[in-house]
Amino acid sequence: MTLRLATAGESHGPALVAIVTGLPAGLELERPAIDADLRRRQEGYGRSPRQQIEQDSVEVLAGLRHGRTLGTPLALVVRNVDHKNWTWGMAPWPPEGEPVGKGTKPVTLPRPGHADLPGVLKYGHQDVRNALERASARHTAVHVAAGAVAKALLATIGIVVRGATVDEEALRTAIDEARADRDTAGGVVEVRATGVPPGLGSYAAKEDRLDARLAAALMGIQAVKGVEIGDGFALAGLRGSQAHDEIRPNRRRETNRAGGIEAGVSNGEEIVARAAMKPLPTLMKPLRTIDLETGEEAAALVERSDVAAVEALAVVAEAAVAWELAVAAHEKFGGDAIGDFVAAHEAYLDRIRWR
């Protein structure tokens, strides 16, 4: 069974939801571990006051009994505490009574760089809020919860995934400066995965390539505009004699310019992937746009937002890479019960040991 993830939820709606299918039965999950990742995602430098409102914590509605997966669909929920301020504005059914709270007036001033304009054009919305609510990076919370489940699966075969910002000090200075100018900042994060066996992914078809899958997963995160694996763009400027990782006795490599992936297949070295985040598009000194009602020039929507979410991206990117590695590992080792998955991994390591 393929490991699959589906999510739903709007930023100021009642909750975010994830359904994970295909997990082996008997996998032990720990609520504190999932909640710790949710907290890490919220703590990043430069986040909006929204993070003081939310206290993200996972609820499990199905698929788990006494801390172990049942092999049935796992349903995860992360509530939006801020929804209490939007009960009229984000009511699923036509609301009764006078408009009250937030989200009661249609948004008609699309922000350049957000989902606002392409979203209303594509779906035929009148109110930009109908596009921005789902496009919001708020829903990365439930991806982080699913990523924590993926990390638990990976841990059973010794794979550890960790994301971090690149150059933390310079990033924090850039965020402070952007905040002082009432502007926003972007940055770069790096995810490293250790313990990945050779042989995840395949060169047999482009969609099977592990690097293609990681790139899609990272590019699928809000505000990510660039991805590289290993030395990525820098490799383009090198000679072949400098760009590859020589194979030494006992399969040892002295360099890892490939970032642990050759021809779309993991090679046993550490997986290294980077993602570049653009500066966030909700600006306190707004850019020029048009009013969708009148077609006239206007200033874009100004509303509460983060100055930067790069530290949050490190956690979200970690979850995204963990999820893709879990899918690839489960594809290779299979198993309806967690013991089958672990045993298949062991048997495979035995097979390749002689080389």
Region binding ligand EPS by CB under 6 A among candidate stretches 62-70, 86-94, 148-156, 302-310:
302-310
Of 18 and 325, nearer to ligand EPS (C-beta) is 18
Q: Which of 304, 346, 349, 351 binds ligand EPS (CB under 6 A)?
A: 304
CB of 20 to ligand EPS, least distance (A): 20
Cβ atoms of 266 and 196 within 8 Å: the answer is yes
225 counts as binding ligand EPS under rule CB under 6 A = no
Region binding ligand EPS by CB under 6 A among candidate stretches 132-140, 153-161, 197-205, 340-348:
132-140
Region binding ligand EPS by CB under 6 A among candidate stretches 168-176, 203-211, 228-236, 301-309:
301-309
316 counts as binding ligand EPS under rule CB under 6 A = no
Region binding ligand EPS by CB under 6 A among candidate stretches 66-74, 83-91, 130-138, 323-331:
130-138
54 counts as binding ligand EPS under rule CB under 6 A = yes
| Torsion, Cα of 15, 283, 50, 321 (10° steps) | 60
Of 7 and 267, nearer to ligand EPS (C-beta) is 7
CB of 207 to ligand EPS, least distance (A): 28
144 counts as binding ligand EPS under rule CB under 6 A = no
Region binding ligand EPS by CB under 6 A among candidate stretches 150-158, 229-237, 297-305, 327-335:
297-305
- Residue 112 CB coordination number (10 Å): 13
Of 78 and 157, nearer to ligand EPS (C-beta) is 78
Region binding ligand EPS by CB under 6 A among candidate stretches 60-68, 134-142, 318-326, 328-336:
134-142
CB of 116 to ligand EPS, least distance (A): 10
Q: Looking at residues 13 to 52 of the shown chain, list those that interact with ligand EPS (rule: CB under 6 A).
A: 48, 50
Of 50 and 213, nearer to ligand EPS (C-beta) is 50
136 counts as binding ligand EPS under rule CB under 6 A = yes
306 counts as binding ligand EPS under rule CB under 6 A = yes
CB of 282 to ligand EPS, least distance (A): 6
Q: Which of 69, 108, 289, 305 binds ligand EPS (CB under 6 A)?
A: 305
83 counts as binding ligand EPS under rule CB under 6 A = no
| Torsion, Cα of 15, 20, 21, 25 (10° steps) | -120
Beta strands 64-65; 252-253: pairing state: unpaired
Q: Which residue is nearest to ligand EPS (CB)?
A: 50
Q: Which amino acid would we find at residue 200?
A: L
Q: Which of 137, 258, 261, 310 binds ligand EPS (CB under 6 A)?
A: 137
Beta strands 58-62; 4-8: pairing state: unpaired
Q: What is the rounded CA–CA span in Å between residue 128 and residue 125? A: 7
CB of 48 to ligand EPS, least distance (A): 4
Alpha carbon separation from 121 to 90, 118, 126, 228 (Å, rounded): 21, 5, 9, 31
Q: What is the rounded CA–CA span in Å between residue 318 and residue 307? A: 21
What residues make contact with ligand EPS under the rule CB under 6 A? Answer: 11, 48, 50, 54, 136-138, 141, 222, 282, 303-306
